[in-house]
Structures are given as structure tokens and as C-alpha cells.
Amino acid sequence: MLLSPGSTRWPHLIDDAAVFQAMLDVEVGWLRVQARLGLVTEDDVAVVLAHADATDFDLAPVDAAVEAGGNPVIPMLAALRSSIGTDTPAATAVHRGLTSQDVLDSALMLLAHRSLEIVIDRLGAAAHATARLADTHRDTLLVARTLSQPALPTTFGAKAAGWLTALDGARAEASAAARALPVQCGGAAGTLAAIDALAPGRAHEAADLLAEELGLAPAGRPWHTDRGPVTRLGDVLVRTADALGKIAGDIVLMSRPELGELSEPAAEGRGGSSTLPQKRNPVLSILVRSAAIVAPHLGAALHSAAALAADERPDGAWHAEWRPLAGLLGSVPVAAAQLAVVLDGLEVHADAMRRNVDAAGPALVAERLLRVVPTLPDGDELGPKLRSALRAGAGRDEVWALLRTALPTDAAPDGVPDAAIDDLLSPAAYLGVADALVDRALEGHATTGQGGRP
């Protein structure tokens, strides 16, 4: 945990105890299926259930024994059967018909469901906070930057609306992924042979019953070497990390003192430096970025493993999934929670945003000026002069004077030419459909609770 800042938010989400408990849950679920098929009694189920609490087990010897079998299911079963009583009917019924991969894959899907529930909840909180920012700051002028340089005027509301759409899209994908997490039930080679022997003609029914007992989706068929469920889960978590990382990156950049447009919410002890007492680091956004940087590589590892899943049971490729999947399941919920905290209390410095807009000068509306100039009376001569002035960083007064030469006083009475020039140079008059984009994002968010995707 020392090297995973924020993991204390949910310290047992994906640790050894959580994995062990999830495996026990699968075994109990399978006993219940057997009871529904008439293969064991409810008393047998009750016996196993009474011994299926991970907190009652010493996990140290289990951990030590994992290497011998290559996976944690084997020592888990030994510990469970020993706790129940090895020669009892209940102990005999535990796990029969299944294989280790059935149990661990299903257990990981259970853990994934719990992880996604947190992701969905925290993305919702982040989105609601962002919706408030978008609405509140729909008229707050901001420099839009492309390739790191000032480009055009926009509003902070429009920027936040972009964040909102991304968060709502990620939440919708995570919700769909949570509903689709499948059970694994195939037996030793994916043919359900042992299950069919136990309950002739009811093997598929048994697999579906296990999904029902565990609250997972029916798989249709075993996926021992078709690792689509894992890679799709990984892809959703990576895309979520992408959305979180982009927003966090914007906040980090905009909180630089030379811009001073945003600040993370202040909290006792947060954002300090070990040597520089004056610093207020955007530490939560930095941690979110760190998760987003790592996530694609974890997802890539899942795809590499999927491509190498040989024969009917993988020889190492399955094992290679565990650590990257655990990394995603543990880090993305934390990142979503951290960003939700940031967005809920984000300090928006509208005065600094306006200062930076003014500092960009007429170049910020260069696109508009160069489009309008050819229509002015002396546009043909003015165009080259204007381009040269903008390249040289001319200020508002100089550009105003250039434009004034193309608008003689008699072009319109009562000072209208001056007002027209003021309008041409006004960043607030060249915002496109920024306000409408805010409305769209807010409408989508309000209508579905998640918003639409671009």
C-alpha cells in the first residue's frame, strides 16, 4: 500500500483475503447448484457455508502452497476441506465437477463486479460535480489551447462539458460491463464432462444455475481459452482510466502558477512538499495521472495473454492475467474516487482565466479577423498587414487601428464602425456553439443519469 497511494480507500478490494473469500463464495454457490439439482442436501450446503468465511483461515500456509499447484484454488480447497472435515459428504461434494480455472475465473469476475460498482458510483459523483462546473461557468472565458499554444476563445463551461461527456460515457460502459461479467463453468477441459456425469443432460443448466447463484451473467459456453471476457473488462477499465487521466492532466496544467486557472481543493496535509513549504501540489490529480499512465500497459498484458491462450487450458497465459487484472481492479476505482474529490471542490479562478485571455490579445480571434477582413472595404491591402501584425504579437490597440483604416467614418453613422471593431476583437463574440455544447452535455446527463457518448 505504501507504493499505491489511495489504496487505503478500499484496502481489501483485491487483496489475498478478498480473493480467498471470492473463491469460497464460488464453492458455496456450486454446492447450492448441486442442491438444486438434487445431488446434495441443504444440510451439506449449510456445513460448507459455516466454514466459508475467509477471516477464519490462516492465509500464510495457503500463500506458501500456491506455487506447488500453480494457482490458489488448490490450497484453498485443501484448507476448506480440512476445516469441514475431509471425510464428510459435504467435503466430498465441494468442487466436484469443476476445475481450478472455473473457480478462479468466476471469483475474479465477482471481484470485478465489486470493483466496477465503486467505479460506477465514483464516476457518477465526478460527473455530477462536473455538471455543476459546466453550468456555473458556461460564460467564464478561457483560452482554448491547441498543441500547447493559445488558439481560440472558449469557456470553462464548455471545457467542463467535454469532461462531463467523457465521464458519463465511461460510466455507461462500466455499467454495461458489470452486467455482462460471465460465470466460468467448464470442467477440466471445457466439455463439462464431469458435470454431465453428475447430472446427465443438465450440464448447461448447472452452469446457468451457478451464474444465477453468483449474480453473474450466463456464459453460454466455457471461455477457458477465449479470454474475451477478461480483455473486454480490461478495455473498459483502461478507457475509464483514459478519461480520468485526461481530466486530471488538464487540471495539473491549468493549476501551474503561470496559468493559475484552477486549484485542487485544499485539505489539511494534502499537496505539501517535504522540502518546500510554500508548495501546494495538485497531488490527487497527479495520482490519477499515474494510474492512467500505467493502465494501458496492464490492458495490453491482458491482450497478450489472451492471444497466447493455447489448447483447451492455457499454459502460463492464464496465470499472466492475474497481476495486471488485479492492478486495474485495484487502481481504477481509487483514481475515480480521487478525481471525484478534486472535481467536487475544484477552485476555479475566473479572474486568472480572463487575465490569460486578455494576455493572448487579438491573436486569440485571428481566425475570425482573417475570415472577415476580405469583406472589408480595404480588405485586399489590410490582409497582409494584419497577418504580419498578428505574427509579431501586436496588441489590441495596434490591431484596432489597422481595422479602423478599413472602416471609414462615413461607412455608418453614430460610431457604428468603432462598435463593429470592438465586436470583431471581442473573445466573447467568437465562442461558436460553446453554450449549446454545455446544454447538450447537461441534457444528456440529466436525461439518463449518465449522459450520451460523442
Q: Tell me the C-alpha to C-alpha distance, in Å, between residue 220 and each of 33, 198, 201.
A: 17, 19, 15
Q: Cell 475467509 belongs to which residue?
A: 54
For residue 150, the surrounding DSSP H or E stretch is strand 149-155
Set of cell numbers at residue 48: 460448507
For Cα atoms 50, 56, 58, give the angle at the middle one, nearest 5 degrees. 140
Residues 6+ apart with CB under 8 A from 343: 126, 129, 130, 133, 163, 247
Say how far apart CA 19 and CA 95 lie, in whole Å: 17
Say how far apart CA 334 and CA 118 lie, in whole Å: 9
Name the nearest CA neighbour of 354 among 432, 426, 263: 426
> DSSP 3-state helix, strand, coil percentages of the chain (rounded to 5)?
65, 5, 30
State the amino acid at position 185 in one-letter form. C
Which of helix, strand or coil describes residue 280? Answer: coil
Say how far apart CA 441 and CA 160 lie, in whole Å: 9
**Residues recognised as catalytic:** 273, 313
Set of cell numbers at residue 191: 466439455
